[in-house]
């Protein structure tokens, strides 16, 4: 009997954690419009766009870390950060949607656990720094890919629902990707810059350029 490779699958608790994180973060960034829907002033298009943006910008960012870690021989699971959830909900509620603190959870990686559950630990390389860089780069790279895709969509469709989705998706992916690529521990950027400046710049510069353009110029 071949032991089940637990690390390559989502456990029921992990799936629930991802859904909770997605709902809380999405509700936070669309808080004003969600409240507006109750009193008749909000936009359903904006709410849906916010949920799509969060799914690509945050959830797929974290899942990217998970799958790359698993592929390289590590055990990786998404876990909720309870205090992060409390802060996210509290801050957005107290500020009336004016301020969002988005840290509901993250992917936790355990190199030492990779040999358990029947996992073939020989898949893990001996260069942990390189592994750390590649796993860290997965999230911001996904943000960059979606940012480019949403940018193309933004200028390809007329004003309306898909344009709104593209706008929110672009802003969230550029914002989260740019922040995570800062060379400051414990952000992804610090691990990538430490191992390879060319790779770090290849991911960071396009994200930072788009952030500056859409934040301060347009």
The answer to whether residue 173 is domain-embedded is yes
Please determine, for residue 59, whether its predicted confidence score (pLDDT) is greater than 60: yes
- pLDDT confidence band for 217 (50 / 70 / 90): low
Mean pLDDT across the chain, nearest whole number?
Answer: 85
Q: How, if at all, do strands 105-110 and 75-80 pair?
A: antiparallel
Residue 138 falls within a domain, yes or no?
Answer: yes
The pLDDT tens digits for 11-28 are: 778 999 999 999 999 999
Backbone angles phi, psi at 76, to 5 degrees: -140, 130
Q: Which domain holds residue 110?
A: 6-217
In this predicted structure, what is the pLDDT of residue 8?
46
Integer Cα distance of 166 and 153 in angstroms: 6
pLDDT in tens, 128-177: 889 999 999 999 999 999 999 999 999 999 988 999 999 999 989 999 99
Domain count, the chain: 1
The whole-number average pLDDT for the span 116-120 is 45
Q: Which tens digit of pLDDT belongs to each residue from 81-116?
A: 898 888 889 988 988 877 777 778 889 888 654 444
In a domain, 1, yes or no: no
Position 118 scores a pLDDT of 44
Predicted TM-score of the model (pTM): 0.85
* CA-based nearest residue to 21, from 76, 68, 61: 61
**Angle, alpha carbons 192-174-128 (nearest 5°):** 15
- How far apart are the C-alpha atoms of 98 and 57, rounded to whole Å? 20
Alpha helices in 55-195 (DSSP H): 60-71, 82-94, 128-154, 161-180, 188-195
Task: Specify the pLDDT at position 149.
Answer: 96
Residue 151 lies in a domain: yes
Instruction: Tell me what pLDDT residue 102 has.
Output: 75
Among 16, 13, 15, 18, CA closest to 105? 18
pLDDT at 3 over 70: no
């Amino acid at each position: 009997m071949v032991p089940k490779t637990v690390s390559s699958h989502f456990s029921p608790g992990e799936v629930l954690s991802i859904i909770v994180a997605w709902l809380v973060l999405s509700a936070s960034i669309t808080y004003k419009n969600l409240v507006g829907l109750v009193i008749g002033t909000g936009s359903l298009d904006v709410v849906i766009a916010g949920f799509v943006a969060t799914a690509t910008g945050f959830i797929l960012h974290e899942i990217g870390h998970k799958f790359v870690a698993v592929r390289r021989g590590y055990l990786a699971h998404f876990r909720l950060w309870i205090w992060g959830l409390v802060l996210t909900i509290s801050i957005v509620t107290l500020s009336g949607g004016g301020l969002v603190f988005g840290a509901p959870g993250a992917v936790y990686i355990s190199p030492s656990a990779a040999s358990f559950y029947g996992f073939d630990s020989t898949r893990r390389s001996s260069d942990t720094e390189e592994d750390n860089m590649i796993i860290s780069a997965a999230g911001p790279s996904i943000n960059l890919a979606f940012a480019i895709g949403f940018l193309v969509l933004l200028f390809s469709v007329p004003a309306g629902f898909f344009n709104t989705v593209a706008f929110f998706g672009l802003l969230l992916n550029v914002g989260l990707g740019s922040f995570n690529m800062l060379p400051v521990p414990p952000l992804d950027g610090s691990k990538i810059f430490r191992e390879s400046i060319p790779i770090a710049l290849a991911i960071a510069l396009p994200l930072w350029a788009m952030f500056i353009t859409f934040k301060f110029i347009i």
